[in-house]
Amino acid sequence: MMHDAGYKIKDKKHASWLMNRASRISRKIMHRVSCIVHRDRKGVTLVELMITLVIFSVVISMIYSVFNAFVKQATSERKTAKTEMDVINVAWPLLKDIQTAGFGAPKYSCTSTTQCDCHINVTGTESATVSRTLTIHSTAAGDDQHAGKWSYITGSSCDVTGLPDEDDEAENQRRVVVINNLDKSRIGYTYVKGTASPQLNACGSFEGHIAYWMANTSASPVAPQLGCYETEYSLDTSTAAPATCAADTLSLRRSVSTVGGSGTAQPILDCVLYVTYRFGCISSSGALTWQTGTDCGTSKLRLVKVGMIVQNSMRRDFQGANTITLFEDLGTTLQRQIDLDAINTSLRFYKWRKLEQTIVLKNLE
CB–CB of 79/314 below 8 Å?
A: yes
pLDDT tens-digit profile of 51-86? 878 887 887 888 877 777 766 666 666 666 666 677
- Between CA 187 and CA 43 the distance in angstroms is 103
Q: Which of the pair, 147 or 29, is modelled with greater confidence?
A: 147
| Domain-ending residue, one of 33, 48, 67 | 67
What is the sign of the dihedral through the CA atoms of 329, 333, 334 and 339? positive
Whether residue 240 is found in the same domain as residue 344: yes
The amino acid at 120: I
Q: Which of the pair, 37 or 175, is modelled with greater confidence?
A: 175
Whether residue 177 is found in the same domain as residue 35: no
Whether residue 103 is found in the same domain as residue 232: yes
Residue 221 is assigned to a structural domain of this protein? no
Three-state SS at 334:
coil
The amino acid at 51: I
> Which residues constitute the domain of residue 177?
145-214
Whether residue 307 is found in the same domain as residue 259: yes
Q: Which of the pair, 244 or 27, is modelled with greater confidence?
A: 244
Is residue 280 predicted with pLDDT exceeding 60? yes
| Domain-ending residue, one of 67, 92, 117 | 67
Whether residue 21 is found in the same domain as residue 95: no
Whether residue 323 is found in the same domain as residue 235: yes
What mean pLDDT is reported for the chain? 82
Beta-sheet strands, E only, within the chain: 3-4, 7-8, 120-123, 133-138, 150-152, 175-179, 186-193, 199-200, 210-213, 229-236, 250-257, 264-282, 288-291, 301-311, 323-326, 336-339, 352-360
- Between CA 60 and CA 46 the distance in angstroms is 21
CB–CB of 207/235 below 8 Å?
A: no
Whether residue 344 is found in the same domain as residue 257: yes
Structural domains of the chain, count: 3
Whether residue 262 is found in the same domain as residue 333: yes
- Least Cα distance to 97 among 136, 151, 51 occurs for 136
Whether residue 184 is found in the same domain as residue 122: no
pLDDT tens-digit profile of 131-190? 899 999 999 998 889 999 999 999 989 999 999 988 888 888 899 999 998 888 889 889
Please name the helix (run of DSSP H) or strand (run of DSSP E) that holds residue 30, with its range, or none. Answer: helix 12-99
Is residue 336 predicted with pLDDT exceeding 80? yes
Residue 275 is assigned to a structural domain of this protein? yes
- Least Cα distance to 277 among 198, 204, 357, 162 occurs for 357
Find residue 134's DSSP bridge partners.
122, 233
Whether residue 348 is found in the same domain as residue 268: yes
Whether residue 59 is found in the same domain as residue 89: no
